[in-house]
Amino acid sequence: MPDPRVLLEAVSVLSGCQVESTSGRSQLSPQDLVNIVALREFYKQEGFRELDYPSIGTMSLHDPDQDDADLYSPAPALTAGPGPGPARQPERNRVMLNPEDFFHPQYDYDFTKIQDGGKQFLRGNEPYVRPCGWNRAALRVTQLHEGGDAWLGTGSGAWPVSYHGHGMDGSLGVILVHGGEPQDEPEYLDAAAASLTEQRTHGRGVYSTPDVTLAEKHCKTFRSQVDGKTYKVLLQNRINPKARASCQREDVWLVYIQKDLNHIQTRATVEQAIRPYGLLLKEL
């Protein structure tokens, strides 16, 4: 298992919070982490400046971390409110996390020296590209969901694997095959023709990918205050195939979020669609 202190730094970078160790109860669960990562990106797409999240409070959506910067370096100034106004430094929300109830070392896996080559793996009868070159710290997610842990397995009832990299949003140029409504799936050519006449070509929602190489291009990078090393960080998830919208890009998966949903319904949509199980680190 990587140094737990470095793992907490990685959680800080992904969540945008100041995460500190505690021997008490964690304020964040692994599901909370993927919710926050996904919702921060989604609400930034929607033009919001803040995110309200239970047990944490109001979080700034301004990203204080810069690639290859010290983890806790001062954040750039952010203008408060629309129009002219004083600049302010967005503060990180302080969050306490107990590594013992957040991580699950029994299921850690070090892929740093593994090369799969032509080997093929399946999860939920779909190709699984293992994160070769990365070190995975397992998250404590077993025996938490109704229906057991089949979603986390390797058989036909398992959910496919996806990776979430920071900055994965509509800029990826995704065009929905279904034209924007998850239940409607016209043929590819019809959707492509519609995209030429409609302004709405990007999917509205939360993005991830089955391709760890693509996710790496959009991941966060930080320099650890613990060991002075620089790391890339990703989340490894399982995605509910029933909640995944079809796109013309096979290497991008979208959880579509309807426009009429409130904040609670939006969070519930993410929770029903994406479940994290690994925190991935790669040393540069």
- Supply the pLDDT for residue 80: 34
How many domains does the chain contain in total? 1
Partners of 87 in the β-ladder: 79
- Supply the pLDDT for residue 174: 64
CA distances from 174 to 30, 113, 210, 260 (A): 27, 33, 15, 21
Measured over the CA atoms of residue 252, residue 230, residue 41 and residue 82, the dihedral's sign is negative
Q: What is the mean pLDDT of each run of 10 residues along the chain (284 residues)?
A: 93 95 96 95 91 93 57 38 43 93 97 94 96 98 92 94 82 59 44 42 81 93 96 97 84 90 95 97 96
Residues spanned by the domain of 135: 4-283
Helical pair 30-45 and 4-15, crossing angle rounded to 10 deg: 30
- Find tokens 């306490």 and name the residue: 96
**End-to-end C-alpha distance for the chain, whole angstroms:** 18
Whole-model pTM: value is 0.84
